[in-house]
Amino acid sequence: MSLDLEFDDAQQAIATTLEQFCRDRCTEDALSAVEGKFPSDLWWDLAELGVLGVASEEGGGGALEVAAAMEALGHAIFPGPLVASFFATQVLPEDLCTRVAMGKSVVALGAPPLMPWAPVAQLFIETDGHRAWTARPMGEIEPVRTLGGEPWGRLELERKTELAGVERARMLADIARAAYLSAAGQRLVEDASAHARVRVQFGRPIGEFQAVAHPLADCATRLAAARNLARVAAFGFDARDATAGSTSSAARLSASGAALAAVYVCHQVFGAVGITLEGPVFRISQRVRQLVSLPPAPAYESLLADLGL
């Protein structure tokens, strides 16, 4: 049986719209301005496009729509708790889900004592990857600066209500993360390849040397495979296929590995400028490394359990 992995017209329209939105709004200057902060203006504009609630019951979409959106946002390195927001729209009651979809409530998803976006969040969801609860902070939240420039916080949480639908929410979060990471990694490869075509050593562009061209080609191949696996997982999620859990976990792990490999290779291609904070790729690699570490976490555990190991 074959599977058409191309987006349909509606899904492609989401991707095309967001690509243009990111070209207009998610510029280098805009990203620099929100370093270490919550990107309020960008977030509200994204919510107005209906992206945050696209997979909710009211939004009418599914995992394929999320994948289409996240590929476009990942390529632009769009900031914010995207994965947490998609998770939240699968588990929260309708009134809270609507607030998330409208950009009025920022979600902190994870497990104390350290949680992403906690200093700016209005909604807190504690999860171990298998179960989840709405929660409220107890005492002050200690701000923590992170590698990716996101405002995290140290805190204690008091659990309130256990949430249903966590397994489906985790699958969607894994698919969203995989789509974003595969696109972010591809952005790195594109930027590094462009640099390799104009950077000259020994009288030749460095992209003509196998030691540069072959690793970039390997990265591009791995990232394309990860992107396709994320789309396969999205198809399975929307079809409620029995293997969707293991496929979404595999997609997350594949994209994480491929994106991290692209970070290492592309920094080497750029040489010294690749490791400077003000350089052309450091912000992208920071975002990739940050996103790889975000909750919910048990992808390996889930995949091994589905394989009976």
Residue 118 CA to residue 143 CA, distance in Å, equals: 8
9-164 belongs to CATH 3.90.470.20: no
pLDDT digits (tens, 9 = 90+) for 115-147: 999 999 999 999 988 899 999 999 999 999 887
Q: Where are the domains of the chain?
A: 9-164, 167-306
pLDDT of 77-90, one tens digit each?
A: 999 999 999 999 99
| pLDDT of amino acid 196 | 94
Topology at the third CATH level for domain 167-306: Butyryl-CoA Dehydrogenase, subunit A; domain 3 (1.20.140)
Given a contact cutoff of 8 angstroms between Cβ atoms, the answer to whether 158 and 189 are in contact is no
The amino acid that residue 80 corresponds to is: G
Q: What tens-digit pLDDT sequence spans the chain (309 residues)? A: 567 889 999 999 999 999 999 999 998 888 888 888 899 999 999 999 999 999 998 888 999 999 999 999 999 999 999 999 999 999 999 999 999 999 999 999 999 999 999 999 999 999 988 899 999 999 999 999 887 788 999 999 999 999 999 999 999 999 999 999 999 999 999 999 999 999 988 889 989 899 999 999 999 999 999 999 999 999 999 999 988 888 999 999 999 999 999 999 999 999 877 777 677 788 888 889 888 877 666 666 766 666 665
Tell me the whole-structure pTM to 2 decimals: 0.94
The answer for 276, left when phi > 0, alpha when psi is -120 to 50, beta otherwise, is beta
Burial class (CB within 10 angstroms; exposed 0-12, middle 13-18, buried 19+) of 228: middle
- What values do phi and psi take at 179, rounded to 5? -65, -45
**How do strand 123-127 and strand 200-201 relate by DSSP bridges?**
unpaired
**Side chain identity, residue 254:** S
Q: CB neighbours (10 Å) of residue 28? A: 10
Do 9-164 and 167-306 share a fold? Answer: no
Comparing CA positions, the residue from 254, 245, 224 lying closest to residue 307 is 245
Give the pLDDT confidence score for residue 114 in this predicted structure.
Answer: 94
